């Protein structure tokens, strides 16, 4: 596995081939959520992994300058998380979305 | 060198206890050109208000928890009037003013509330508008 400086990896669906590929999350962002005590955001990375691996649908092209090639993976997460890190049932009627830049980095 | 996977990196962080959330919290991410602001710690979901602003609302009760503003630097660079309004003699941008100005584009009481919540918080203009 090829390392990408300052990032951790996630394996997810490659919507072009139907196989899998590596995606990346900046370590600074992960640390940021943890160090500020945002457990529900930090733990949501489990949902990111889940949805990027098995999305219900993938869109390409966000209506925003410079993100014409970015992708959006949408799906149903099996949990949401409390600020104590506890698993809770997923919110009713909501989808979980993951945005990925054209260089395969996950962003908010 | 092999990359650590996200879950492994999380476990590494969790080896030390996380500090409790203190309000308010904000962060400007230069790479993503986005300002994130939270003033409550309730678990929340995202609701896109307009092209620039996504607000975060509590799962329980839909109260405003925080927001993310995208394209702050891009807009400051492309809209001189917007920038002049925000940067005073101190060379700092008051975050609350960003929300009040955005409320002119999208009249929404939640943007006004964000402006009030962010009152007194500021960021160096040079961080938002690097000279290079």
Q: Is A101 on the interface with B (CB under 8 A)?
A: no
Spatial CA neighbour of A91 closest among B42, B51, B48, B14? B42
- The minimal CB distance from A7 to the residues B1, B3, B44 is found for B3
The residue assigned the tokens 């993310």 is B68
In a mutagenesis test of the A interface, which of B10, B45, B52, B70 is the best target, namely the one with the most A β-carbons within 10 Å?
Answer: B10
Write the pLDDT tens digit of every residue in B65-87. Answer: 999 988 777 776 666 555 555 55
In a mutagenesis test of the B interface, which of A25, A28, A32, A37 is the best target, namely the one with the most B β-carbons within 10 Å?
Answer: A37
| CB-count exposure of residue A9 (10 Å: 0-12, 13-18, 19+) | buried
Give CA separation, A62 vs A2, B85, B94, B127, in Å: 28, 29, 29, 26
Write the pLDDT tens digit of every residue in B90-107. Answer: 677 788 878 887 877 788
3-state secondary structure of A93: coil
What's the average model confidence in pLDDT over A18-35? Answer: 93
């Amino acid at each position: 596995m090829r390392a990408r400086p300052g990032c951790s990896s996630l394996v997810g669906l490659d919507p072009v081939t139907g196989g899998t590929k590596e995606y990346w999350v900046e370590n600074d962002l992960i640390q940021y959520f943890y160090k500020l005590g945002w457990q529900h955001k930090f733990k949501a990375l489990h949902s990111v992994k889940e949805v990027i691996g098995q999305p219900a649908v993938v869109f390409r092209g966000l209506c925003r300058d410079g993100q014409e090639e970015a992708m959006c993976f949408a799906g149903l997460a099996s949990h949401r998380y409390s600020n104590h890190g506890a698993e809770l049932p997923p919110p009713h009627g909501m989808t979980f979305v993951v945005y990925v830049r054209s260089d395969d980095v996950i962003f908010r | 060198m092999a990359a650590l996977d996200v879950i492994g990196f999380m476990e590494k962080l969790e080896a030390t206890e996380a500090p409790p959330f203190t309000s308010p919290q904000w962060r400007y991410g230069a790479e993503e050109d986005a300002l994130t602001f939270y003033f409550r710690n309730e678990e929340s979901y995202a609701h896109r208000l307009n092209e620039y602003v996504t607000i975060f609302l509590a799962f329980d009760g839909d109260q405003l928890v925080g927001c993310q503003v995208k394209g702050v630097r891009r807009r400051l660079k492309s809209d001189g009037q917007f920038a002049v309004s925000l940067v005073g003699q101190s060379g700092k941008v008051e975050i609350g003013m960003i929300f009040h100005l955005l409320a002119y584009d999208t009249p929404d009481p939640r943007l006004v509330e964000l402006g009030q919540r962010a009152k007194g918080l500021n960021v160096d203009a040079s961080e938002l508008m690097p000279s290079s």
